[in-house]
Amino acid sequence: MNLITEAAKALRDIGKGMAVVSRAAEKGKHTNLYPFEMPEIPPVSCQSLALIIEADGTDRCVSCLACEKVCPSQVITIERTRNPEGKGFVLERFDIDLVNCMYCAACVEACPVSAIVTIQDFELSTYDLQTLKADKAFLDEQGRRAKQWYSPKLGVEYRNEQGEIQVAPLEQQPGGEAELLKQADKESDN
């Protein structure tokens, strides 16, 4: 191609791009002014991980090692001891290397008791990579601070004002609207 043809094509492409931008502006679409306006993030998005502590202060984690075994990046380290009071184990150490974590949520899927969950806290940026070695205390604090969280076994959960953990209603669950419509269709058929 010659130079004039390429310049004409470039100008045409720039015009197409400007038309898209002007149509979006007419529709009222705009960028959120983060950090002044927080984005709306769906509860199933995996921005960070947290451990859930029950309302009575006990760990939900039963130290089964399922999350450690299933992690494709091998970034989870768990140490446990036998429970001297009976059956089961006592969780001694639970570490996740968030620098090398792929945030695939395989650990969340594998957890039989929904102890490790995904939360929407994406503001973990830091200049010091050593602060992204999440230990049990950090993961517990993430779980306490989380407004809502998601696990495949229980769905979306949240902690109410009294500190009790509650499962979100069906309409707030992923796919919940479709389930409500199915129930309504079944009731209308009957």
> Within 13 Å, how many C-alpha atoms sit on residue 69's CB side?
6
List, in order of start, the domains of the chain with CATH numbers: 48-173 (3.30.70.3270)
pLDDT digits (tens, 9 = 90+) for 15-33: 998 988 888 777 776 777 8
Could you report the average pLDDT of every consecutive run of 10 residues in the chain (190 residues)? 88 92 77 80 81 89 94 95 88 92 92 92 80 89 88 88 86 72 75
CA-CA-CA-CA dihedral for 127, 124, 76, 61, to nearest 10: 150
- Global pTM reads 0.73
